[in-house]
């Protein structure tokens, strides 16, 4: 907009006017009020889930700190795990035991709130056509599908599938100068909710036996050896993001890329 070091309201207005006249003024998409309101359901569920995980970590830390951990119970917060905690509470110092009881009570309350929010999601959002189509994507279930649908919003605001993947933080930054090109890390200024949803879906998909020999499974296994587990999962997540773009644009269920196209691309 300007090359001098001065910054005034008049210079800013003049620069914006030039960009507007040239048709190069950047624009931001503002979600409709209804969409912003519905997003609160999923985002609140994520916040409650994080609180629940934090409380569980604190209880696990207390159990380990006083040497009361047992390998015979896989889930400390299942029915057997809760019975075990109740039976060992007298062995904790009094205030620690009292705080564990408080945190267990808070976990029960959080579980009830999460169940209530998830029921609301199922009745208000999960029945839409877009959500049902997104559920055909490998690794995407009844929670991730609404998250993806609401965080994307109007898919037509993205000119290409790669733009949606970049918006979700699944495309590395490119540094190119003097004929040399280097790929950097992922930018932090992305939609973190959407990034979490696609990475979570990718992790679920690569662990399921049903997708072991599918496109996502083969993509993961091929990159796992060359790039490592983290980059392989991100690559699968990017594929799922670009697939979501075409699913929402064409209103069609997920279809894995054809094998001959995959082979020619890799070659």
Q: pLDDT tens for residues 88-106?
A: 999 999 999 999 999 999 9
pLDDT band at 210 (very low <50, low <70, confident <90, very high): confident
**Domain residue limits at 65:** 33-124
pLDDT of 184 over the 70 cut = no
pLDDT of 110 over the 70 cut = yes
pLDDT of 159 over the 90 cut = yes
Which tens digits make up the pLDDT trace of 27-78? 888 999 999 999 999 999 999 999 999 999 999 999 999 999 888 898 999 9
Contact partners, residue 190, CB within 8 Å, separation at least 6: 166, 167, 168, 169
Joined together, the tokens standing for residue 259 give 């094998």
Average pLDDT, the chain: 89
Joined together, the tokens standing for residue 147 give 């998250």
Is the Cβ–Cβ distance between 85 and 69 less than 8 Å? no
135 shares a domain with 106: no
Closest CA to 234 of 198, 265, 207: 198
Q: Average pLDDT for residues 6-33, to the nearest whole number? A: 88
pLDDT band at 264 (very low <50, low <70, confident <90, very high): very low
141 shares a domain with 80: no
Closest CA to 233 of 266, 192, 198: 198
Domain assignment of residue 54, yes or no? yes
pLDDT band at 227 (very low <50, low <70, confident <90, very high): confident
pLDDT of 127 over the 50 cut = yes
Alpha helices in the chain (DSSP H): 9-22, 33-65, 79-88, 94-124, 129-134, 144-152, 161-167, 192-207, 215-227, 229-250, 259-266
Q: Average pLDDT for residues 141-166, to the nearest whole number? A: 95
229 shares a domain with 136: yes
Residue 183's pLDDT is what?
64
SS3 176: strand
Q: Average pLDDT for residues 140-150, to the nearest whole number? A: 95
Q: Return the higher-pLDDT residue of 106 and 190.
A: 106
d(CA 35, CA 179): 44
Domain assignment of residue 28, yes or no? no
Q: Return the higher-pLDDT residue of 259 and 107.
A: 107
Residue 211's pLDDT is what?
87
250 shares a domain with 151: yes
Residue 266's pLDDT is what?
46
Q: Return the higher-pLDDT residue of 27 and 179.
A: 27
Domain assignment of residue 26, yes or no? no
Domain assignment of residue 8, yes or no? no
What angle is formed at CA 164 by the lines to CA 160 and CA 166, rounded to 5 degrees?
Answer: 110
107 shares a domain with 188: no
Residue 23's pLDDT is what?
87
pTM of the model: 0.82
137 shares a domain with 50: no
247 shares a domain with 164: yes
Residue 1's pLDDT is what?
47
Domain assignment of residue 19, yes or no? no
């Amino acid at each position: 907009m300007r090359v001098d070091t001065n910054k005034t309201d008049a210079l800013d207005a003049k620069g914006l006017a030039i960009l507007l006249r040239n048709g190069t003024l950047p624009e931001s998409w503002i979600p409709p009020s209804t969409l912003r309101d519905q997003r609160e359901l999923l985002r609140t569920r994520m916040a409650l889930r994080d609180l629940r995980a934090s409380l569980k970590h604190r209880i696990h830390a207390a159990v380990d700190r006083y040497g009361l951990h047992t390998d015979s119970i896989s889930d400390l917060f299942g029915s057997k795990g809760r019975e075990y905690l109740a039976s060992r509470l007298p062995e904790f110092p009094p205030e620690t035991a009292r705080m564990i009881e408080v945190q267990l009570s808070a976990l029960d309350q959080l579980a009830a709130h999460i169940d209530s929010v998830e029921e609301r999601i199922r009745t208000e959002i999960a029945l839409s056509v877009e959500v049902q189509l997104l559920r055909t994507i490998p690794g995407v279930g009844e929670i991730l599908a609404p998250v993806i649908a609401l965080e994307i919003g109007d898919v037509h605001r993205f000119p290409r599938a790669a733009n949606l993947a970049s918006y979700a933080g699944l495309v590395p930054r490119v540094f190119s100068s003097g004929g040399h090109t280097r790929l950097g890390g992922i930018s932090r200024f992305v939609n973190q909710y959407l990034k979490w949803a696609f990475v979570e879906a990718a992790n679920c998909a690569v662990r399921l036996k049903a997708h072991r020999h599918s496109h996502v499974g083969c993509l993961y296994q091929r990159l796992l050896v060359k790039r490592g587990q983290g980059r392989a999962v991100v690559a699968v997540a990017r594929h799922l993001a670009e697939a979501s773009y075409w699913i929402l644009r064409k209103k069609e269920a997920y279809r894995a890329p054809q094998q001959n196209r995959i082979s020619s691309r890799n070659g």
